[in-house]
Amino acid sequence: MERTRPLEESGSKTSREVVSSEPRGPAALNREAERWWRPFGRAGDASVVYVDLVPHPAREAAALGWLDREERSRWNRFRHQGRRRQHALCRAALRAVLCARLGCANDTLSFRESERGKPLARLSGAPAPVSFSVSHSGGHGLLAIAREGRIGVDVEERIPRRDLDGLMAAVLTPDERLELAAVSGHRRTASFFALWTIKEALLKALGTGLQLDMAGFEAPPAMRRGVTIGEFRFPHLPAVTWRVENVGNEHFAAAVAHERGPGPAAADRREAASVDR
């Protein structure tokens, strides 16, 4: 994965906007020192942004200024303070980055969900020409943003899990479990987290909700051997190819899945246009 320097030097308008453009949102966030999001790098054609989700009352208060009425209502319904913080900081960061990318004011940007629950952006009531995905875990959040093509990102904080074996059984195929049985300790856990985030990212990119079982398909063979970038095709959709990249680090496991070539992104935007009809 290309990290921050390649993102800044890529020369494309989109990359420069994500790094340097000031979002057209609440004035209190127009100073660099107050931002809690920053460029993380690129995964193929997608920009990846890191969102710092550690407790920070001033940031959380500023984030609420970015949210619309519906988003604030959802924030208010969360009973757990951690969930409130994740929702506010991630959604505000997403709004800031999309406003910079699209060159729009925050109050012209809105979100709707497709029939299957995939979030879609709208600009002044019309489908916005952008694809995105959001994920958070613990104190870490990631945004993946691309011009077109379905995209998914997943992040999982590297913390001990109570029932790791049970989680493996729910996520991995029998062959994948056999492969992990050949390794032990930290390497086994790290390998599992990589496979888990790869599969989650693919399902989020596909956008069909919980209709597919993660234990029903295998991650790309090369990535199961530790390669960081691979290609994938769902068994029931062999004509569609997905670029998958492991973008994790020592603090969290993470992956980005992005549809290669022309695909149903335009259809997704048409669906967004019809949601309120």
203-250 confidence digits (pLDDT tens): 999 988 667 899 999 999 999 999 999 999 999 999 999 999 999 999
Write down the pLDDT at residue 190: 95
CB atoms closer than 10 angstroms to residue 248 = 22
What topology is assigned to 154-259 in CATH?
Answer: Ribosomal Protein L22; Chain A (3.90.470)
Q: What are the residue ranges of CATH 3.90.470.20 in the chain?
A: 4-149, 154-259
Write down the pLDDT at residue 262: 53
Q: Which CATH class is domain 4-149?
A: alpha beta
Write down the pLDDT at residue 270: 38
Bridge-based pairing state of the strands 140-146 and 151-157? unpaired
- Among all chains, which residue has been given the structure tokens 């619309």? 68
Q: Please give the structure tokens belonging to residue 30.
A: 């127009």
Write down the pLDDT at residue 30: 47
Write down the pLDDT at residue 114: 83
Write down the pLDDT at residue 27: 54
Question: Rounded distance, CA 100 to CA 277, Å?
Answer: 29
Residue type, 214: M
Write down the pLDDT at residue 211: 74
Write down the pLDDT at residue 20: 36
CB atoms closer than 10 angstroms to residue 200 = 22
- Among all chains, which residue has been given the structure tokens 């990249």? 245
What is the pTM assigned to this prediction?
A: 0.84
The DSSP call for residue 109 is: E
The residues that bridge with 144 in the sheet, in sequence order, are 48, 133
Low-confidence ranges of the chain (pLDDT < 50): 4-24, 28, 30, 32-33, 264-277
Write down the pLDDT at residue 116: 78
